[in-house]
Amino acid sequence: MFNDALPAMIRQLTVALLLAVTAAAASAKDAAQCGNILEAGKPAASRPAANTKLLCYRAYAVLYSPQTRTALWSAERLTAAAADAARTLPRDSDFYEEDRLPAGERAQRRDFVRSGYDRGHLAPSGDFGDKASQAESFSLANVVPQNSTSNRRTWSHIETSTRKLARQYGAIHVVTGPAFTNAARMLNGRVRIPDYLWKAIYVPGVGAAAYVVRNDATQAYSVISISELSRFTGIDPFPALAPTKRGVALDLPPPTPHPGEKAARRVAFARLVGNDKAGDAAESLGGLVQHAGALATLMLAYAR
């Protein structure tokens, strides 16, 4: 009986050893890829989330959270060559569930069915100059529930302007992520819906800044410094950035609208996040006072 069981045990041990060697090789390969992608430094979180997992792809990397079932950030090194090559590639990939994540922790395609939200890329396929990298960008680990108007207009315009920067400077570092600031809103009870989205850009030797948009139909955006972004989101996209460049926002170009579309307006960050209500109230009160003064003048004139 023991002799009969021995070959089976050997086969099981052999399979287990092969799997371990394969996993180790894959891990080493992922680490090398991430090292290239994250050469500007791995983004850091001031409020670390539990059980996050770093996922490396050919052209980008994400830090995935099983609590939100989204990435907390997606990082890429965007080059002019990749942006130019991507123009010639048709977008024919399909969204897929990330099988490197446990089934219960990953977003599923059915989560987005008739949800009213787009599957919004963090690292967009249009940044990648080969079919394999573009296909990998459709992992649901690189996706958040995004308002369709924002995704197809303001956010898409920001992506276009980001690629223009890459063409201007040759290569830039880009980190994109969601911001969760209000009570949790869940898609299909599973995937957390961001309140804002942001895209931080570092141009080596020049400076850095971040675009921020609301995750709704508001056709507006803000540009803020990396320090301000870190305070707002709890994510520092470029922790190795010199202090002199952290507090000063690089003058990022306006989002580039598609032909026939209206450009989004740039607004103060306080206004974008709704912290200017008191200012609006004061402005309204001032207007009422002015109108009251004008009415009083008219009444006096008629009284004469």
Q: How far apart are CA 31 and CA 19, in angstroms?
A: 18
Q: Which residue has the tokens 């895209």?
A: 199
Please say if the pLDDT value at position 183 is more than 70: yes
pLDDT in tens, 40-87: 899 999 888 899 999 999 999 999 999 999 999 999 999 999 999 999
The two tokens of residue 285 are: 């009160």
How would you classify residue 57: left for phi > 0, otherwise alpha for psi between -120 and 50, otherwise beta? beta
Are the CB atoms for 242 and 230 separated by under 8 Å? no
**Residue 4 confidence (pLDDT):** 52
* Chain length of the chain: 304
Are the CB atoms for 201 and 172 separated by under 8 Å? yes
Asked whether residue 151 is marked as a ligand-binding residue, the answer is yes
Q: Given pLDDT bands bounded at 50, 70 and 90, which one contains residue 223? A: very high
Q: Output the pTM of the full model.
A: 0.81
Please say if the pLDDT value at position 117 is more than 80: yes
CB atoms within 10 A of CB 83: 21
**Regarding the domain delimited by 21-273, which CATH topology (the fold level of the hierarchy) does it fall under?**
Extracellular Endonuclease; Chain A (3.40.570)
Q: Is 258 a catalytic residue?
A: no
pLDDT in tens, 227-286: 999 999 999 999 999 999 999 999 999 999 999 999 999 999 999 999 544 333 333 333
How would you classify residue 234: left for phi > 0, otherwise alpha for psi between -120 and 50, otherwise beta? left
Among the options 121, 157, 173, 291, which is catalytic?
A: 121
